[in-house]
Structure 1
Amino acid sequence: MLETNEKIILAIVDDHPVVIEGLKTLLKQEPNIAVVNSFTRGKEFVSFLRTNEVDVVLLDIMLPDVNGIDLCKEIKQVAPDIIVLALSNQAERSIILQILQNGANGYLLKNASAEELIRCLNEALSGELAFSKEVKEMITRPGVNELKKIPTLTKREKQILQLVAEGKTTPVMAKELNLSPLTVDTHRRNLLQKFEARNVAELIMAAVQHKML
């Protein structure tokens, strides 16, 4: 049962009628849910939101007219205080992190139990980030790049790295830094080794991931 004493105005945005009906049936049992509005398209919900109050929205990621991750950001711009709980079949860590960055208050997989859904609603209404069990395990598991130690660079290597990112060639770097081309190439090889990168593209990507560019 929802722990808040206030009536909650809730909306469901999902393009599968069976999912909507199932959620409505479940939420009808909760006395603190006042209204359950449903929408099969994201833009319809945004239009509704501009003139109506909604406390919580259960938002599918895959919609026919708009990307749910982008829609989350738009929803938060229209109604900053609304609680957005993503409800999806997409069990990819990158997708979860993207929608959280766009303001989502939680993420549930559609195979979550009814108890998990109600728990997540309670947690989100209490100001916490809410996740179903499987999602929580996924996001607390560090990614491969996060397990790698951040390389320690010398001042000169940081200069070279920045110039590499700018697309400068070895001769141009040598001239700008008043070094020999051989010295510049040595620094470039050291950077590739420190970042465990096979080429310049991987080097730049790894440096960006470590927030060094």
Structure 2
Amino acid sequence: MIRVFIIDDHKMVIGGMQLLLKDAPDISVAGTALSGEEGIEALSRTEADVVLLDINMPGINGIDTCKQLLETHPNLKIIAISMHKESSLIRLMLSNGAKGYVLKNAGQDEVIDAIKTVHNGQMYLDETVNTIVVNSVASGNRQKTESPFPTLSKREKEILLLILDERTTQEIAEKLFISFGTVETHRRNMLIKTGARNTAGLVRISLEYELHK
């Protein structure tokens, strides 16, 4: 029996994954957590073989959660479950120890196949993710070699420039005519893309690698 642990900050996603795995005869859900911190703590006392891990989470993001889990549980097989399709982010997750990467719109057969594949010691990329990585390599993906980070979107750069200008979240929201929550979502996505632990780290990295340009 393959014991699976699910970490995602959305209860609906966790519920959906549990439903997908409910009828798999050789897979059981050993537990769930709504944050990286909660998952790390729970897995210190819960036996699991495979972890389905979201990337975009408040607090400790999926990349850092992956690294921390593998430091204490080197035999865990971790599969990133995400909506992010940037090739650089995919490579970043894999370089930090994940053995698989599956998009959240994957079907039941695909999720089960991913779990069984990584449990058997092999790497698993779903078809879409594999195509993204292959195309990235084939096209040469000439993002600045000194920057290991995914490219920021136009809106993310707009918000980053205002952060560098020491604007508050509310001031940024008013300036760009978007909601407070939307600003925070973009900020969180930038933290995940850069691996920064907080806004100060994001500012440092953005200046060092000129991500705001």
- The number of equivalent residue pairs is 142
2:138 equivalent to 1:144: no
Distance 1:127 1:91 in 2: 24
Distance 2:128 2:29 in 1: 29
Distance 2:106 2:3 in 1: 22
Identify unmatched segments of 5+ residues in structure 1.
1-6, 147-204, 206-213
| Shift in Å, 1:115 | 1.4
Aligned to 2:74: 80
1:1-213 matched pairs, under 5 angstroms: 7-141=1-135, 142=137, 143-145=140-142
| Shift in Å, 1:145 | 2.8
Secondary structure class of the residue paired with 2:142: helix
Larger radius of gyration: 1
TM-score by length of 1: 0.63
The root-mean-square deviation of aligned C-alpha atoms, in Å, is 1.8
CA deviation vs aligned residue, 1:84-127 (integer Å, no higher than 9, x gap): 00000111111110111110001001111211111111211121
| Shift in Å, 1:41 | 0.9
TM-score by length of 2: 0.63
Sequence identity percentage = 38
Identify unmatched segments of 5+ residues in structure 2.
144-208
| Shift in Å, 1:52 | 2.2
Which one-letter code corresponds to 1:42 in the other structure?
Answer: G
* Structure of higher RCO (CA pairs closer than 8 Å, 6+ residues apart): 2
Distance 2:107 2:45 in 1: 33
Distance 1:16 1:124 in 2: 24
CA deviation vs aligned residue, 1:168-188 (integer Å, no higher than 9, x gap): xxxxxxxxxxxxxxxxxxxxx
Distance 1:144 1:116 in 2: 28
Secondary structure class of the residue paired with 2:44: helix
- Stretches (4+) displaced over 2 A: 143-146
Structure 1 residues 32 and 10, CA gap change in structure 2 (3 angstroms): same
